Every structure is written in C-alpha cells, then in structure tokens.
A and B are shown apart, each in its own frame.
Chain A
Amino acid sequence: MITVENLTKRYGSFTAVDDISFEVTPGSVVGFLGPNGAGKSTAMRMMTGLTPPTSGRTLILGRAYRDLPNPARQVGVMLDAAAQHPGRTGREVLHLVGMTIGVPKDRVERSLEMVGLTSEEAKRRVRNYSLGMRQRLGLAGALMGDPQVLILDEPANGLDPQGIHWMRQLLRAYADQGGTVLLSSHLLHEVQIIADDLVMIGRGRIVARGSKAALLGAQGTRANSLDNDALAVAARAAGLEVSGDRNGLLIKATPEQVGRLALEARVVLTDLHTTGSEALEDLFLSLTAPDARDHVAA
C-alpha cells in the first residue's frame, strides 16, 4: 500500500512536482506515466526518502519510508538501474544487499533466477552488462528482501519487447499474490502492457488517472467492417452515437456492444478496438508539445 499525499517539490522558482496525490493498493500494478522531466523520478525519490519534499508526504504500509525499520524487507526499490558500481560483479551487488538487510545467502540465487540472469552472467562485472541486464539486476536487488511493495523507476527501459512481456508477467504474478507495484515509464506503449492502473503526470501535475480500461475505453470503439453502412444503421437503431470516416466507424459504446451489434446485423468485422489509446496518446503528446525540445526536432 502506497499513499501519496499532496507531494510537492520546488527548486527555487521551478516546481518539479506539484501537489500530487494518489494511492496504490495491494494487488495492483500502477504505471506512473509521463514524458521525460515530468517529475516522475523526483516524486519517486521523495517517496523513498532520498529527496526531502517541500511539502506533502508519502506513507508506505502506513509509515514514512524513513520510519520503516529495515525498509528493503518491505519495499523493494529500484530508482536507477545504471547506478551500480561498474567494478562489482552482479552477484556481489546482490550479496551486499542481502548482507545489509539480513536475508539468507541463498536469496541471491533465487533473486537471480527470478529475473532470469544466469550464473555465468552474475559472475561478470556490471561494467560489461547491457542496459537490459542492469535492469534485471536492479530488479533482483529490489526483490532481495521479499518485499510487499515495489517502487521501480523506468524498469522496462532498455528491455526488448520480449523482456517487457516477461516483466509484465513477473509483476502481474507479484501483484496477484498481494503485492503492490508502482512503476514509472515515459513510454505509453510500455506502461500499457505492464500496468493495470495509470497515473499520468506532466510538468509535475497529475493530468489523468484511473484504471487502464477506463482511460483507454473512455472514448468509444473504432470499428471497421465489410459493410460499414449496415453497421452504422444498426448502431443508430440501438441509440448509439456514430460518426465515421474512410478508416471506419467511431461508435460511442464498448467493443463488446459493437461486436454484438455486428453479430446481430450479420456484418463481418475486420477491425474492432477502443479508441482510448489514441486519445491517451494525444494527451500524452500534448504534454510535451509546447516544449522547446519538440520544436527543435520538428
């Protein structure tokens, strides 16, 4: 359980994190989504006591992070996979974590196994690791204390598509057993795969939040079929709002409703999806658009 209350961080006149509040409940994987520089990492550092907040607070399992007696046994944290001493081996990094927090030695092997790092890879120095391997090592470090809560900053960064699906499975199974997961990402696509709920921030403020289904499905359903005219007639007859263009129809209904309509009208559907991801993508892009960076690129 993570409770973020009115968390704010100002650096002089610049507000990095502006009064954000949200909750992550056990059993869920929440994606903290926002473009680079939106304040995700600053917020996560405040949650874990590395950066003092200007105001507001975070409670993890009912306590401030600093007040947890041996925090890693309750909260697994990975804030930057690249922040490892390049001269240590992967196994040594985990061994140090295990030694500090006081878990049995075999926990190192189990953590390695969970993140899919082989014994050979663990013997190599972190200097020679790819970003993906560092992410796995960082995650293994976070899992060392068998925590109930995970706080991960950009855990999927540097993973290949296969790796992202692997992480989704891992975190999903973790949450299914009652774990609480908060992870950040600057890629909508990535977070869409891994998370159940989304908290989207831009310029330090929360701009959207809710379950993935609600956020993605809010706009309606885009459908294409072999006979769009017939489908549109059927939808209007059912009292649904319909608009259309040459790419298909936009119907204010769930994909299931549209699917049933098509079935009843005996129309062959060729495409059926919620338009939410497009709307979310638009919102996401609009967050970055006024930035100078974008204009330079354009």
Chain B
Amino acid sequence: MTAVIDPTTSPVTHDSATVAPISGIPFARLVRVELRKMVDTRAGRWMLIVMSGISALMVAALVLWGNSDKVTLGDYVGLTSFPLMVLLPIVGIMAATAEWSQRTGLVTFTLEPRRARVLLAKILAGVALGLVVVAASFAAGALGHLVATTVRGAHGDWSMPGQVVLGFVVAMTMFVVQGLAFGFAFLNTPLAIVASILLPTVWSIVGALPKMRTAATWLDLNRSMEPLMSGSMTASAWAHLGTASVVWIGIPLAVGGWRVLTREVK
C-alpha cells in the first residue's frame, strides 16, 4: 500500500517514447482483444456454457429417443442449431453493448480512439466466435451420431449435404452479426435483446396477413433463412435472403455504426 517510485529501479522510465517510435495498434490484435472480451466475463462464459449445454442435451435426447435407423448426421447438427439461433444473437448483443452499458468504452476508446477499427474488430471477433461455436456444434452432432451408431447399433447414415453445411455456417454468422448490429443500434443490452426478438416476430405476424404476403417473402429474415438451413437454396431464395438481410442486419448495422462512431463516450 505504500509503493513509491524508486528513480533507479522505476518502471516509469519514459524511455519507450524516445527510444522507439510508437507504431499503431495492429488490427489483428484488436480482433484478438475483442474476442477475449467476449469470453472473459462470467456472463460471456455462462452464455457459451448454456449454449453448449442445451445443444448437448438435445443431441443426447436424439440419441436416446430418436429413430436411430433413419437419423443422419445432418439431423444431429440441425438439432444443435435451435439453441444457437436464439443465443448467438445475444452473444453479439452483449459484445456490442458492454462498452456502453458497463461503460468500459471509456477505456476501450481511449486505448484506440479510431472507433471504426474497434467496431470492425468486434464484428470480426463475433463472426470468429460464431464459427467456433458452429464447429463445436458439428463436433457435438458427430459425437452424438457416433454414440448412436456404436452403442445403439443404428446403421449410421453419415450423410450431410454440402448445402446444409454452408447454410448452417452462413446462418449462424448472420445471427451473430445481427446481434452485433442490434447491439450497436440500441447500445443497451436489455433493449437490444427485446428488440431483436420482438421486431422480427411482430413482422412475421404482420407478414402472415394476406395483403403482406409478397412483402413478407422478401423482407422476413426468419422465413428466408429456412431454405438456407435445410439446404434448399435457389436463386430467388438467395435474393429473398439478401433483401431481408439488408433490412434486418444492414440497416441496424448502419444506424449502430453511426451511433458508435459519433456518440459521446461517458
């Protein structure tokens, strides 16, 4: 409690500035820091534990009660996607809003005042985390399938169409980015979570009205993601996905980006 600087051994040397020119912070390092920030708090860690826990439970249920002769690897992996669909956006939201709700932005944005770089690093880190989670869910699915084929003696269909794999990866990435976008746009964790669940749901209900059918096919993200997950994407399905993504990811990201870059950090 009485630490005092000793001039001879002091770590406060002021040498670094005069000896070596100071270079900027490499972007890859910012991404690593943002990635670490997503998992180094209790909230972030529990989020991942809950996600993998629910996925594992669902796989276990399929192993125990599924009709193991008909179940393919694709089914196992598909099953793990349900908890991820709900929870990955929340991971994104928490990563985006923590700087403001916990006010850590006061530190983050003084360490790197070029906020656009921090913003971009957060998005890349979120995508990277999403991909790790997806890889883990593939592994969990494969493990479940392996248990089913060996223990229960199912005949073991290891097929999983490339379309499904691609769709799965794209969809999960989109969920994370959507979470980040809503987080940046609202800069408030509960508000962003409620909005990211409520708004698309409300829109799905509105889209079910007869007069809104056409608009809904182009602008409903949940609906346009269905063919993506089932591996039945067509040219028009990609177009629907594109327009829906602009509305549900692009616009919040643009609004959020503008807010993060211009808002006063307090």
Contact for B29 among A48, A99, A146, CB less than 8 A: A99
CA distance A218 to B40 in the complex (A): 54
Contact A84-B104, Cβ < 8 Å, known A52-B264, A70-B24, A146-B12: yes
Contact for A87 among B3, B15, B43, B266, CB less than 8 A: B43
Nearest CB of A to B50, in Å: 15
Residue A289 at the chain B interface, CB threshold 8 Å: no
Contact for A74 among B3, B17, B36, CB less than 8 A: B17
By a CB distance below 8 angstroms, the chain A residues around B108 are: 100
Nearest CB of A to B112, in Å: 7
CA distance A79 to B16 in the complex (A): 23
By a CB distance below 8 angstroms, the chain A residues around B24 are: 69-70
* CB-CB contacts below 8 Å: A138-179 with B: 141, 143, 145-146, 148, 162-163, 166, 169-170, 173-174, 176-179
CA distance A176 to B5 in the complex (A): 10
- The interface bits of chain A over 186-212 (1 if a CB of B lies within 8 angstroms of the residue's CB, else 0) are 000000000000000000000000000
Residue A85 at the chain B interface, CB threshold 8 Å: yes
By a CB distance below 8 angstroms, the chain A residues around B150 are: none
CA distance A170 to B33 in the complex (A): 30
Residue B2 at the chain A interface, CB threshold 8 Å: yes
Contact for A88 among B17, B41, B113, CB less than 8 A: B41
A101 touching B4 by the CB < 8 A rule? no
A45 touching B30 by the CB < 8 A rule? no
Residue A115 at the chain B interface, CB threshold 8 Å: yes
By a CB distance below 8 angstroms, the chain B residues around A73 are: 16-17, 22
By a CB distance below 8 angstroms, the chain A residues around B1 are: 116, 162-163, 166
Contact A173-B14, Cβ < 8 Å, known A74-B22, A83-B107: no
B41 touching A87 by the CB < 8 A rule? yes
A65 touching B4 by the CB < 8 A rule? no
Complex: chain A residue closest to B41, CB-CB: A87
By a CB distance below 8 angstroms, the chain A residues around B13 are: 146, 177
A77 touching B7 by the CB < 8 A rule? no
A45 touching B14 by the CB < 8 A rule? no
CA distance A143 to B10 in the complex (A): 12
A69 touching B22 by the CB < 8 A rule? yes
Residue A266 at the chain B interface, CB threshold 8 Å: no
Contact for B4 among A51, A52, A173, A179, CB less than 8 A: A173
B12 touching A174 by the CB < 8 A rule? yes
Residue A49 at the chain B interface, CB threshold 8 Å: yes
B29 touching A72 by the CB < 8 A rule? no
Residue A110 at the chain B interface, CB threshold 8 Å: yes
By a CB distance below 8 angstroms, the chain B residues around A166 are: 1-4
Nearest CB of A to B36, in Å: 7
Complex: chain B residue closest to A99, CB-CB: B33
Contact A71-B111, Cβ < 8 Å, known A51-B265, A83-B106, A148-B17: yes
Nearest CB of A to B223, in Å: 37
Residue B109 at the chain A interface, CB threshold 8 Å: yes
By a CB distance below 8 angstroms, the chain B residues around A92 are: 40
Nearest CB of B to A137, in Å: 11
A99 touching B36 by the CB < 8 A rule? yes
Interface size class of B (residues with CB under 8 A): 35 or more
Interface size class of A (residues with CB under 8 A): 35 or more
B102 touching A100 by the CB < 8 A rule? no
Residue B236 at the chain A interface, CB threshold 8 Å: no
B30 touching A173 by the CB < 8 A rule? no
Residue B162 at the chain A interface, CB threshold 8 Å: no
B14 touching A179 by the CB < 8 A rule? yes
* CB-CB contacts below 8 Å: B24-49 with A: 24-26, 29-30, 32-33, 36-37, 40-44
Nearest CB of B to A125, in Å: 8
Complex: chain A residue closest to B112, CB-CB: A100
A177 touching B3 by the CB < 8 A rule? no
A141 touching B107 by the CB < 8 A rule? yes
By a CB distance below 8 angstroms, the chain A residues around B30 are: 100
Nearest CB of A to B34, in Å: 9
Nearest CB of B to A27, in Å: 11
Contact A83-B17, Cβ < 8 Å, known A71-B111, A114-B11, A116-B2: no
By a CB distance below 8 angstroms, the chain B residues around A179 are: 12, 14
A70 touching B23 by the CB < 8 A rule? yes
CA distance A66 to B117 in the complex (A): 13
B37 touching A96 by the CB < 8 A rule? yes
B12 touching A177 by the CB < 8 A rule? yes
Residue A256 at the chain B interface, CB threshold 8 Å: no
B33 touching A100 by the CB < 8 A rule? yes
Residue B110 at the chain A interface, CB threshold 8 Å: yes
Kindly list 9 other residue pairs between chains A and B, CB separation below 8 angstroms, not including A116-B2, A146-B11, A146-B14.
A45-B266, A50-B110, A52-B262, A74-B17, A88-B41, A100-B112, A170-B5, A177-B12, A179-B12
Q: Can you list 26 residue pairs at the A/B interface with Cβ under 8 Å?
A: A45-B265, A48-B113, A49-B109, A50-B109, A50-B110, A50-B264, A50-B265, A51-B266, A52-B264, A71-B111, A74-B22, A79-B110, A83-B105, A87-B43, A92-B40, A99-B32, A100-B33, A100-B108, A100-B111, A116-B1, A116-B3, A146-B13, A166-B1, A173-B5, A177-B7, A177-B12
- 3 closest residue pairs by CB, A with B: A87-B41, A83-B103, A173-B5
